[in-house]
Structure 1
């Protein structure tokens, strides 16, 4: 479950970033990005190049993919990811679903449910068995 949660997070982060760069054509502004064209950008009145940068490279897509890769890395080593990762992403996903209901937030919910179920299952397996004959 944890592995699938991690790969789902990687998919969401990578798809968002690559989709913004290609389908939304954000990459056509790369010349402006790398020439210092955003250095004095006013966030209240973003240029098309600034908006494209925030949609793609400066979005939460790249860090979400990294979080997913960390979850997969931990799972491969038999380390259970901390539940706060799932809870934090869950809060972020709920806000996203309320603000932008027509985004693929259900994939985030799927990853979070898988991650929480996997961490819970791992916690049950790692819990020490009660000793016979000793009071609890």
Structure 2
């Protein structure tokens, strides 16, 4: 006989978003979409040039001076951490909608990563967004664990 019921129950569409982890997931989705789309739009002239030159093997890890703009456009848009952040937020949202607990270490790891980025390159809006997402995920994991222990 189990002391703690570990079976998950799907949340209703009205309640799932009240979890702190769900708020972190939604913020991560928004940040990932915003970063990827805005970066691509800001460099649309470079993306037009990439399309004209031919899409395949246009980006180099060791770009020459004439390839630098294309490499920068790639690493700021689809090659950035915006896409993985979008995927992480989607996973967290999917888990919380089904009543699963998001582990607190995931948020703690994101906070540590954001602190490293901030200390090395300076704290900006993106770094503070990562800190917020990580903090929400960590707090959501901690509060949902406490709820399961009762």
TM-score interval w.r.t. the shorter chain? 0.7 to 0.9
Distance 2:68 2:141 in 1: 43
- Superposed counterparts of 1:44-83, under 5 Å: 47-83=68-104
Distance 2:133 2:57 in 1: 37
TM norm structure 2: 0.74
Deviation at 1:11, TM superposition (A): 1.0
Relative to 1, partners in 2 of residues 1:124 and 1:33: Cα closer, same or farther, differing over 3 Å? farther
Q: 1:34 aligns with which of 47, 50, 55?
A: 55
Relative to 1, partners in 2 of residues 1:44 and 1:116: Cα closer, same or farther, differing over 3 Å? farther
Q: Is 1:122 aligned to residue 141 of structure 2?
A: no
Q: 2:108 aligns with which of 83, 87, 91?
A: 87
TM norm structure 1: 0.81
- In structure 1, the gaps of 5 or more residues are 130-136
Query: 3-state DSSP class of the match of 2:124?
Result: coil
Q: Is 1:3 aligned to residue 22 of structure 2?
A: yes
CA RMSD of superposed structures (Å): 2.2
Deviation at 1:30, TM superposition (A): 3.8
Relative to 1, partners in 2 of residues 1:102 and 1:37: Cα closer, same or farther, differing over 3 Å? same
Would the aligned equivalents of 1:14 and 1:61 in 2 still touch at CA under 8 Å? yes
Q: What are the Cα deviations for residues 75-127 of structure 1, in whole angstroms up to 9, with x where unaligned?
A: 00110112221122112111222213234222222222211111111111111
- In structure 2, the gaps of 5 or more residues are 1-19
> How many equivalent residue pairs?
127
